[in-house]
């Protein structure tokens, strides 16, 4: 009987000690947080990054403490919206994470659920505000995309009037810059269809241009060979004086100009084969070694 009585007394004492220990622990936490708040308010005026670090640090060390959570949570929420908006979503996510951690670790009291409901409401308001801000930004970007698409379409159509390789390539560079500015992820269905059409038209224009350029190249190579045949006797009679002779202007120079007029990078394999055939025939038709050297050297220099 006495043993049972003493056991009950012991249990009560232990509970009292546990309660006292919790009170002491909470007092120590509150004291630490109180001191930290003073540092926090000083840093908040001069260095917001340090202020953020202080609140995060104190909460991580006291995840069940309402004051520590409140300091960290309110700092994050008060930082939304930021001037550039870059950290808004990150701050919101951190606030939500901190809230979930606090709920799992905090002591349940009469005021607990009321406080939780209040925080839930605050987070919901912030989320709604962020969602609207993102939607507005996306609408602005879609309007910008619309203008960029119109510019791109206009530039693609301008390619049709260009028949010189250098100008055509320069316009393609301009198109690449314009295309890079379009935010493809935010294109809505109508814009996607338009962009797809513009790209398809560009490919068709490039293909047609390359075909025309290859046909022009074939015509020039053929003209070069015909000119060689017409002027072969005069070319054979030439005597070159060496690399320093810059005054010689013959039919051979015109032939060289026709053969070197087109960039090989853009020629079709069939066109390059035709060029090689013409080159070999002309080279074999030249009798003087000096003339052959001049012919080959001039073509190499014009590459």
Q: What is the pLDDT of residues 4-45, one digit of tens each?
A: 555 555 555 555 444 444 444 544 556 567 777 778 788 878
In the prediction, which pLDDT does 291 show? 81
* End position of a domain, from candidates 107, 135, 164: 107
* Cα distance between residue 65 and residue 28, in whole Å: 11
In the prediction, which pLDDT does 269 show? 92
- Domain assignment of residue 56, given as a range: 2-107
Instruction: Please choose, from the candidates 292, 219, 204, 291, the residue with its C-alpha nearest in 3D space to the C-alpha of residue 262.
Output: 219
8 Å CB contact between 54 and 41: no
In the prediction, which pLDDT does 135 show? 87
Position 272 in a domain = yes
Position 29 in a domain = yes
Picking from 12-16, 49-53, 159-163, 229-233, which range would have the lowest pLDDT averaged per residue?
A: 12-16
Bond from prior residue into 235 cis (ω within 30 degrees of 0): no
Kindly write down the DSSP assignment for every residue of 230-270, as one continuous string. Answer: HHHHHHHT-----TT------HHHHHHHHHTSS-GGGS-HH
In the prediction, which pLDDT does 17 show? 44
* End position of a domain, from candidates 89, 107, 125: 107
Residue 215 has pLDDT above 80, yes or no: yes
Position 181 in a domain = no
Number of independent structural domains in the chain: 2
Position 291 in a domain = yes
The pLDDT tens digits for 68-116 are 999 999 999 998 887 777 889 999 999 999 999 999 999 888 889 999 9
Position 287 in a domain = yes
- Residues with Cβ within 8 Å of residue 178, at least 6 apart in sequence: 148, 151, 152, 155
Residue 241 has pLDDT above 50, yes or no: no
Give the residue, 296 or 98, on which the prediction is more confident: 98
Position 154 in a domain = no
Position 180 in a domain = no
8 Å CB contact between 78 and 91: no
Residue 67 has pLDDT above 70, yes or no: yes
Give the residue, 33 or 200, on which the prediction is more confident: 200
**Within 13 Å and on the Cβ side, how many CA atoms surround 205?**
22
The pLDDT tens digits for 245-267 are 443 346 788 899 999 988 888 89
In the prediction, which pLDDT does 75 show? 93
The model carries a pTM of 0.55
In the prediction, which pLDDT does 19 show? 46
* End position of a domain, from candidates 107, 124, 141: 107
């Amino acid at each position: 009987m006495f043993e049972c009585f003493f056991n009950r007394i012991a249990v009560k004492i232990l509970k009292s000690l546990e309660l006292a220990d919790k009170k002491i622990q909470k007092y120590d936490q509150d004291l630490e947080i109180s001191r930290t708040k003073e540092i926090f308010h000083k840093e908040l005026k001069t260095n917001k990054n340090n202020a953020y670090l202080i609140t995060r640090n104190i909460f991580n060390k006291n995840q069940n403490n309402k004051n520590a959570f409140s300091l960290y949570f309110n700092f994050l929420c008060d930082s939304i919206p930021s001037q550039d908006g870059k950290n808004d979503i990150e701050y919101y996510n951190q606030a939500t994470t901190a809230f979930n951690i606090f709920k799992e670790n905090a002591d349940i009291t009469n005021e607990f659920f009321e406080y939780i409901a209040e925080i839930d409401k605050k987070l919901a308001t912030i989320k709604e505000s962020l969602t609207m801000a993102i939607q507005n930004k996306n609408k602005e970007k879609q309007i910008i995309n619309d203008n960029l698409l119109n510019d791109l379409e206009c530039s693609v159509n301008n390619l049709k009037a260009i028949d010189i390789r250098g100008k055509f390539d320069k316009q393609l560079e301009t198109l690449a810059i314009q295309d890079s500015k379009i935010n493809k992820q935010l294109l809505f269905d109508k814009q996607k269809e338009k962009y797809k059409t513009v790209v398809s038209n560009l490919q068709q224009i490039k293909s047609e241009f390359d075909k025309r350029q290859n046909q022009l190249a074939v015509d020039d190579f053929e003209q070069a060979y015909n000119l060689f045949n017409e002027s072969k006797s005069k070319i054979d009679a030439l005597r070159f004086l060496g690399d320093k002779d810059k005054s010689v202007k013959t039919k051979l120079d015109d032939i060289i100009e026709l053969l070197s007029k087109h960039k090989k990078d853009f020629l079709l394999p069939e066109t390059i084969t035709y060029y090689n055939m013409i080159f070999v025939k002309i080279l074999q038709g030249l009798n003087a070694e000096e003339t052959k050297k001049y012919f080959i050297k001039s073509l190499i220099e014009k590459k």
